Amino acid sequence: MPIKMNKPGDTTFAITIEDRFDPQEDHIVEIVDMDTRDDVSTIDGKPYTSIVWKYRVFDADGVAFLDKMDGSPYEGWEFSSMALSPKAKARAWASAFLGHELTDEECDRIAEAFDTAIVGKRARVSWRVEEKANGTRIRFALLRPMLNRPAAPPKAPKSKPAEEAPPEFVTPNPPPRSMPTANGAPPARESAAERRARLEAELAAMTDEDADGDEVPF
């Protein structure tokens, strides 16, 4: 972890995040860098070392809040001790950013490269605002892991439109066939004169049959 030396007692803070930031709302923060800071206790005068958690804040649309001073993404700082004991602040925060409760074995494993494991990770933060003589600052009140959205179920394949059945082929009615003659040979096609003579003969025969019968009274 790179070490950045700061002057002991340099604890002046000012909120320069753009005005649309509302500390009453929860936000997503991302750790962008981590340092250590050497300082001196104002209580007993003993030196101590803190972890500096440098973060950026994002709105609900994923847009980073800007710094009013220069228009760059706002970078906030938080501090914790170096301890990774079960009740230590650093361990609770690391668990939130890594998305699960850390075990002792995991803490031992990442202790040598703590910043490598945490930088670039995100968590959801609730805030508190502190008003002190040395300035106003926003602090982490509660850190929670990001909610992992369940994967969307696979979309059902689009059903193919039903294929239209091919039109049923209807065999056209065959033309009427002439009855064969007695000897099995196809009948000869009669001419117009022959057909007229046949019809006149049939009419004459019908007239003769009516004449032999009884008269129909009026």
Distance CA 51, CA 35 (A): 6
DSSP for 65-88 reads PBBTTTSSBPEEEEEEES--STT-
Give pLDDT tens digits for 1-30: 433 334 444 445 678 999 999 999 999 999
Mean per-residue pLDDT, 30-49:
92
Q: How high is the pLDDT of residue 133?
A: 81
3-state secondary structure of 58: strand
Residue 86 CB contacts under 8 Å (≥ 6 apart), including other chains: 104
Distance CA 74, CA 16 (A): 8
Q: What is the pTM of this model?
A: 0.62
Distance CA 32, CA 48 (A): 23
> Higher confidence at residue 103 or residue 209?
103
What is the band of 83 on the pLDDT scale with cuts at 50, 70, 90?
very high
What is the band of 211 on the pLDDT scale with cuts at 50, 70, 90?
very low
3-state secondary structure of 36: strand
Domain locations along the chain: 27-145
